[in-house]
A and B are shown apart, each in its own frame.
Chain A
Amino acid sequence: MSAPHRTAEEIGRTAAGPRPVPSLGTQRAAADLSHVDTTLSNGLRVLAVRKATVPLVELRVWIPFAGEDALHPATAEVLAETLLTGTARRDRIEIDADLALIGGDLGSGVDPERLSISGTSLAEGLPTMLDVLADALTGASYADAEVARERERLIERIAVSRTQPRTIAREALQKHRYGNHPAVREVPQAEDVAVVTPEQVRALHQASVLPRGSVLVLVGDIDPQTVIGDLEKALGGWASDRSAVRLPALPDLTGGNVLLVPRAGAVQSQIRLSAQTVSRTDPRYAALQLANLAYGGYFSSRLVENIREDKGYTYSAHSGFEFTDQTAVVNVDADTATDATAAALLETRYELARLGLVPPTADEVESVRQYAIGSLVTAASSQAGLAAQLAALAATGLGAEWLAEHPARLAAVTAEDVANAALEFFAPKRFTGVVVGDADVLAPKLKALGDVTVGEPA
């Protein structure tokens, strides 16, 4: 790079000098969406929205899927992996071929709270996608060979997953904050998966893959009115008097020490803090959402500007909500080099305290308000984005109206509301959490910071 060129200083200025930043134009509101929000005769709630931007349709199904049994996480995981591997009418390859020919895909996954199925296809292929879905929901066969094979793959994948720093940190955080609650069992134990039988998977399907209390979201190039009839027809055979199984309520977090979890020789540490907040239905939620954005919820937040852009401690620092059934917590995440970890935790706590004591200025509040409103509009502008938003809302009993009304709620929040939410919910004392990293190096400094203990989570 030795060719003749200007200096950095010459590059950074022009004869005309700095220019004023243009002001914003007038924003047009998003068009109203034609939608239907109803419950089928089998108890399944359906949200169907017409959004014909491309000739596709997006499908999401959320089935509450909790279980207390010690083998539940392993059985549920095997079920999710084999749900779409064969029915009385189609084997695994026929399912894949039928979906492929309509440009489609169906996939399923499970967590301690729910079984989720996601699908997409060309809009003209929706009848086929619904037929395959209904086929699996009512007649998944869990053939011995498929269960055996998926069990093996799952064990191998669990091994890969448990070497990911983010999985290690997540498990440590879950155990540290929720102890033995079923919610902590996100990745099953390999030895549990190894003993799951096809009979157990079939029994779990019978007991728990249920329409009542579940939600199906369809977004795309569809007619929401007529699609309800199609769904009623396609899913009519999926019925039960019982309701899908909801996770027992999580205990409220009350704050406490940060646990330093040793990971010998790690070059980077995971900082994971967490505190109780309130869910979307609480009148304080909009103000709380803005307080969170100002803290660490977007790039221009206090936390990111401090520990990334000012100090270079991290590539990624972030705070955000985690919703579980009717409750919500706020989580703060940062991955930092071992040498910078203690200082990063200090700054992270400092910014928590400062948010309450030196609350967001009018400019900060305006910035997060516009960001919150703008992100809603952007996310809702694609079929997949809208389907994801609606599925998340539906899980809390909300729907498209909430989405349409939320910009007005955000617009009504005052700086004082944000200050109150900041002081109430972001006080450092309300947080607990973990740091996973090289304890030999980290322990002396973290202990000196205070409110840190060292050890494995209970």
Chain B
Amino acid sequence: MADPELVRFTLDNGLRVVLAPDATAPVVGVSVHYDVGFRSEPEGRTGFAHLFEHLMFQGSESLEKLAHFRYVQSSGGSFNGSTHPDYTDYFEVLPAAALERALFLEADRMRAPKLTQENLANQIDVVKEEIRLNVLNRPYGGFPWITLPPVLYSTFPNAHNGYGGFEDLEQATLDDCAAFFDTYYSPANAVLTVAGDFTVEEARELIEKHFGDVPHRPAPERPSFAEPAPEGELRGEQNDPHAPLPAIGIGYRMPDPINDLDGYLANLVLAGVLTDGDGSRLQQRMVHREPLVVDIGAGAGLFGPFEARDPDTFTITAIHPPDVSTEQVLAALDEELEKLAATPPEDQELKKVTARWAASLHSEHDKLVSRTLALGSFELLYGDASLVYRLAEKMSAVTGEAVSAAAKALRPDSRAVLVVRPGSGSVESEQEGTEQ
């Protein structure tokens, strides 16, 4: 399939823009990616990037509290935002007639968000409820994305809880918010993406009209979050009072997603060979043949691939019955990795993985919201939105030898193993605010 049309340019204030016109349905997607995620949070302010994401919805110079939601939805649209290790995104999908309105809403909060004490206090409460819902009151809540990094990584940016501790959240001040905004939320530190039913000339004009006078501020210097790989096997344990069965999370360091994309893609194919489908190696052996686990999954990234710069994590997670030991699970895994390291997988086995990837990429691009977000995040992280359209082809070019090499690099003596011990089912011991 030919690449769809893609237009990229930069405004005088440094805002990068990606336009992807597509007239197949009368809808548009608009997103803004800011180049800051939870790895940039200062110590003592865990969860701040995410809390700040909430605050960006709470009003701006031209829009009272609640107005952002009301304007998007009364235009027939939907919205959301999400915080990742290395970026924060905001997005709307609306009927095409609302394009200018969506651009206005994003521009107004990029120019002059209204950060107030009242909204900060309210959103701290809302975020605490979000954490109770998704982490504290749920089995395997936060596993492994919150609980594995502190075992694998040793520096604060990589190891800390991106949802945040209640004490840190409660101590966040309005001045912290102002500093965070001025440092990270400048147009020069952001990418605006518009996809869907519009003409390039029309969109260009509207973007200039609404974003053109957002004053330039320099993008902050981006620190390296690099840290050495572990020099031995690191172990951690976690008691989960809600969990009925033991679980294990294994984290490995993987090739630099940006500067060694081919190596990174080989890891993605490896993850598929290991756990994608009933015929995959670990499913076959550990779920069906032996069987050692209830479920097992492998993947790149803590929330999925292509959402972080280096260092990024290759994760394997499994839930297993109490009579199976951690060591049994690890031994079977290591044996399968050794087999792959010794003998590259055949073409047919690779094709199963890459054909499924090609289909799932098509499916993702068919949803306007996913396509808009993918274009924006690839422009931000890779400086190249069009890479989105070449991923399937690049995946199919991964060789058996490359997958073999990737398997060889997942070494027992350079990984983190997190063991989740199930609770008795009682939740009485749980202390609010000490979620780990």
Contacts and interface: CB of A to CB of B under 8 A. Distances in A.
Is chain B found bound to chain A in the same assembly? yes
B73 A371 contact: yes
Interface stretch (B82-90, B108-116, B150-158): B108-116
Q: What's the interface size class on A, roughly?
A: 35 or more
A458 interface: no
A367 B73 contact: yes
A305 B277 contact: no
Interface in B107-134: 108, 111-116, 121-130, 132-133
B362 A25 contact: no
B146 to A, nearest CB: 16
A56 B359 contact: yes
Interface stretch (A7-15, A41-49, A278-286, A319-327): A7-15
Nearest to B25: A381
B414 interface: no
A318 to B, nearest CB: 12
B294 A153 contact: yes
A385 B367 contact: yes
Given A28-B26, A337-B128, A12 B136 contact: no
Interface in A1-31: 1-3, 5-8, 10-14, 16-31
Interface stretch (A65-73, A96-104, A170-178, A348-356): A96-104
A109 to B, nearest CB: 16
Given A100-B352, A120-B359, A315-B129, A2 B25 contact: no
A250 B278 CA distance: 38
Interface string B174-187: 11111111110000
A22 B179 CA distance: 30
Contacts of B113: 11-12
B61 interface: yes
B366 A17 contact: no
B175 A27 contact: no
A23 B348 CA distance: 55
Interface in B209-227: 213
B366 A383 contact: yes
B183 A1 contact: yes
Nearest to A103: B359
B116 A8 contact: yes
Contacts of B101: 21-24
B140 to A, nearest CB: 8
A38 interface: no
Contacts of B13: none
B352 A101 contact: yes
B54 to A, nearest CB: 10
A70 to B, nearest CB: 24
B168 interface: no
B291 interface: yes
B35 interface: no
A56 B363 contact: yes
Contacts of B356: 100, 103-105
A97 B356 CA distance: 11
A299 B122 CA distance: 16
Contacts of A311: 122
B73 to A, nearest CB: 5
Interface in A152-209: 152-153, 156-157, 159-160, 162-165
B129 A122 contact: no
A352 B96 CA distance: 34
A265 B355 contact: no
A164 B425 CA distance: 11
Contacts of B2: none
Contacts of A426: none
Interface stretch (A224-232, A372-380, A394-402): A372-380
Contact of B178 (A6, A13, A14, A378): A6
A55 interface: yes
A102 B321 CA distance: 34
Interface residues of B, number: 108
B278 A267 contact: no
Q: Which residue of B108, B132, B138, B368 has the most chain A CB atoms within 10 A of its CB atom?
A: B132
A381 B27 contact: yes
Interface in B390-425: 425
B61 A92 contact: no
A92 B278 contact: yes
Contact of A309 (B122, B138, B295): B122
Contacts of A138: none
Interface centre among B96, B122, B137 (most CB of A within 10 A): B137
A53 B195 CA distance: 14
A382 B368 contact: yes
Nearest to B367: A382
A153 B296 CA distance: 12
A27 B101 CA distance: 13
A97 B352 contact: yes
B277 A370 contact: no
B76 A382 contact: no
A371 B79 CA distance: 12
A411 interface: no
Nearest to B272: A100
A56 B93 CA distance: 22
A87 interface: no
B257 to A, nearest CB: 24
Contacts of B138: 164-165
A55 B1 contact: yes
Contacts of A39: none
Interface string B13-46: 0000000000011110000000000000010010
B352 A13 contact: no
Contact of B78 (A12, A25, A337, A378): A378
B95 interface: yes
A153 B139 CA distance: 17
A12 B242 contact: no
Contacts of A367: 70, 73-74
Interface string A239-253: 000000000000000
A19 B211 CA distance: 13
A100 B427 contact: no
Nearest to B280: A96
B389 to A, nearest CB: 12
B96 A19 contact: no
A108 interface: no
Interface in A271-326: 298-300, 305, 308-316
Contacts of B352: 96-97, 100-101
Contacts of A103: 355-360, 362
6 contacts: A8-B174, A24-B97, A101-B352, A159-B245, A165-B137, A309-B126
* Nearest 9 interchain pairs by C-beta: A374-B76, A103-B359, A312-B125, A100-B352, A367-B74, A381-B25, A1-B179, A5-B182, A265-B428
Interface of B: 1, 24-27, 42, 45, 60-63, 65-66, 69-71, 73-79, 93-101, 104-105, 108, 111-116, 121-130, 132-133, 136-139, 174-183, 197, 213, 242-245, 276-279, 284, 287-288, 291, 294-295, 319, 321, 348, 351-353, 355-360, 362-363, 365-368, 425-430, 432
Given A8-B174, A97-B348, A312-B124, 15 more contacts: A2-B179, A23-B101, A100-B276, A100-B279, A100-B352, A104-B356, A265-B430, A267-B427, A300-B73, A300-B74, A308-B126, A315-B127, A315-B133, A370-B74, A374-B77
